[in-house]
Amino acid sequence: MRLMPRQPEAFILAFVAAATSLALLLLSGWFIAASALAGLVGVAATFNYVIPAASIRLLAFTRIGAGYGFNYFAHERLLDRLQFLREQLFQRVLKASTEIPKEDEAQKLDQHINALANRTLSVWVPLASGVGLAIALLFVVDVYLPEWLPIAVGFGLLLGGFTVWQKRTLAPLVAAQLATQASYRAALDEQLRNASLWSLRDGCAGLAREQSEWQSAQSALRKQQDIGLRGLRGLSLLSVFACFLWLPESALGNPLLLLLPLALLAVPEWLSPLMRALVPAEQAKLAAAAIAADLSSPSPSQSPVSITSGSQTTISKSEIQLDNFTWRRGCRTGQPITCTLRAGAPVVLTASSGAGKSSLMLALSGLLTANEQGRMASAGSIHYCAQQPYVLSATLRENLRIADLGAGESRLVAALDFAGLGYLAAELDIWIGEKGRVLSGGERKRLGLARAWLTGAEIWLLDEPFDGLDEKTANILAARLRQQATQTLVVIASHRVMDALGGHTVINLDSPPGCPLSLALQE
């Protein structure tokens, strides 16, 4: 999978930057040696110091300019393409059925995308630069030092063979490191979610096996990387030694005699990025395969499911049917719920703190494991708005468009108006989040509501949407949610029940164990 369009200018500039770096190293080394020899043989007064010094300065400016040019062409286009790919893949996760663990899938996709993005900057550019420099060096040796051409060719063949061997050796180590890392993170997440705080004093002893396997895989990978760098230095010294053993008498006195030994001594510097790129190359290969599988698979969808025994009943898209449904966190479970929730009026979950309102909302949205004994049927798309909606470090426009990639200007403005953020309509391109305009807690809540409106989902699950809002603003939003509930199933978990909600269904989660939950319509 190609993350970004071909950019010949970026690769050309990368090669120029690498070539000038090597040329600068060779010319400066030759200039120092030539200046010393000129003084020894008594020709210092006639030696031309101006041209080499000016050439060194020109190479330095060229290297800096090529580096800035590469950053401009490569990074900007890469980030644009990366944003597009991330939005496309995240949309597939968000629109998946509630049986898919969306949070885990989103985190995996983010890791895959970052690995794929790293391929262009950390793999292709070092590879193109290294191969280009090797070809250029062979050309220079063939023209000016043909006696040493066999040494240069032999070094190239040895280097190529060693690189292929290193890549094949690293491939299973990278796969093992990624697998053990994922296993350790999953076990750690489960431990932190379900373990009591007092049990953490032993450093999560239950994770000893996963942690040991991950550390062993990390250690093996680092050890093999060190072997690659040491092998590069060994090949460099071996080639320099061969140059002095194969020193032709006809080349004595040639002022370019030092170029090849200096270039070979610099091999660990100008080829070590290529050797370090083998790990991200393998990571990108695995990530590309995973993303290609996600994009080629048919989009998951939610089909009507019946939980009614006997005759089958098709449910509407703005409806949820629950049969003994509850959430589960390790050994903890919530109160079972059996009811049917429909659009028409808001549904409010009430309970004391810690009774499981948020857990129930997460289970309904598919972000938390549900009890296997219960069942949930839903035909419509579900959107969950967390207590603290995540704010991307990006523009306000981009923060809204993650809910609807095709939303135009007017639709974005309408979403802001619905959420009470109409005063930001003229600032869609303002940078928010980290290193930008900091949104207040209430503005973050309303940003989440604007995203919910943009999704067009038939079912909204809103976790504490009125928290952090003043009474007037909260009632304005409550009135708009009441209106939205006439066509959308709006489920609200909140400690505050606003008067502007009007008639609404209340689910009380504080019922004693074994008793049916209270389900009533309040005016």
* Structure tokens given for 57: 């300065």
The predicted-structure confidence for 411-451, as pLDDT tens digits, reads as follows 999 999 999 999 999 888 888 876 667 888 888 889 999 99
Q: What's at 473, amino acid-wise?
A: T
Tell me: do 256 and 388 sit in the same domain: no
CATH of the domain at 32: 1.20.1560.10
Tell me: do 404 and 291 sit in the same domain: no
| Nearby residues of 304 by Cβ (< 8 Å), 6 or more positions away | 314, 315, 377, 379
104: confidence class by pLDDT, cuts 50, 70, 90: low
The predicted-structure confidence for 162-174, as pLDDT tens digits, reads as follows 989 999 999 999 9
The predicted-structure confidence for 207-255, as pLDDT tens digits, reads as follows 677 788 888 999 999 999 999 989 988 988 888 888 888 777 766 666 6
Tell me: do 323 and 245 sit in the same domain: no
For the cut 50, the answer to whether the pLDDT of residue 74 exceeds it is yes
For the cut 50, the answer to whether the pLDDT of residue 306 exceeds it is no
The predicted-structure confidence for 485-503, as pLDDT tens digits, reads as follows 999 999 998 888 888 887 7
- Closest-CA residue to 117 (of 2, 242, 272, 219): 2
- Closest-CA residue to 205 (of 187, 219, 218, 217): 187
Q: Are 203 and 127 in contact (CB under 8 A)?
A: no
Coil, helix or strand for 62? helix
Q: 242, 261, 296: which is the final residue of a domain?
A: 296
CATH of the domain at 399: 3.40.50.300
The predicted-structure confidence for 212-223, as pLDDT tens digits, reads as follows 888 899 999 999
Tell me: do 358 and 276 sit in the same domain: no
Q: 263, 296, 329: which is the final residue of a domain?
A: 296
Tell me: do 333 and 236 sit in the same domain: no
For the cut 50, the answer to whether the pLDDT of residue 301 exceeds it is no
- Higher local confidence (pLDDT), 134 or 432: 432
**Assigned domain for 324 exists:** yes
What's the pLDDT at 308? Answer: 35
Q: What is the pTM of this model?
A: 0.52
**Assigned domain for 301 exists:** no
41: confidence class by pLDDT, cuts 50, 70, 90: low
What's the pLDDT at 223? Answer: 93
Q: Going by DSSP bridges, is the β-strand pair 518-522/382-385 parallel, antiparallel, or unpaired? A: unpaired
The predicted-structure confidence for 364-377, as pLDDT tens digits, reads as follows 887 777 777 778 88
Tell me: do 76 and 184 sit in the same domain: yes
Q: What is the extent of the structural domain holding 423?
A: 319-522
- Closest-CA residue to 257 (of 143, 145, 147, 136): 145
Tell me: do 471 and 340 sit in the same domain: yes
The predicted-structure confidence for 195-204, as pLDDT tens digits, reads as follows 444 444 444 4
Tell me: do 227 and 88 sit in the same domain: yes
Tell me: do 23 and 82 sit in the same domain: yes
Q: 296, 330, 356: which is the final residue of a domain?
A: 296
The arithmetic mean of pLDDT across residues 256-277, rounded, is 79
- Higher local confidence (pLDDT), 338 or 38: 338
| Range 348-358 burial, b when 16+ CB lie within 10 A, else e | bbbbeeebbbb
| H helices, E strands: number in the chain | 15, 13
**Assigned domain for 418 exists:** yes
- Give me the number of domains the chain comprises: 2
What's the pLDDT at 198? Answer: 41
**Assigned domain for 506 exists:** yes
**Assigned domain for 2 exists:** no
**Assigned domain for 392 exists:** yes
**Assigned domain for 338 exists:** yes
Tell me: do 20 and 69 sit in the same domain: yes
Q: Report residue 520 CA to chain centroid gap.
A: 45
**Assigned domain for 471 exists:** yes
Tell me: do 379 and 477 sit in the same domain: yes
What's the pLDDT at 114? Answer: 66
Tell me: do 399 and 254 sit in the same domain: no
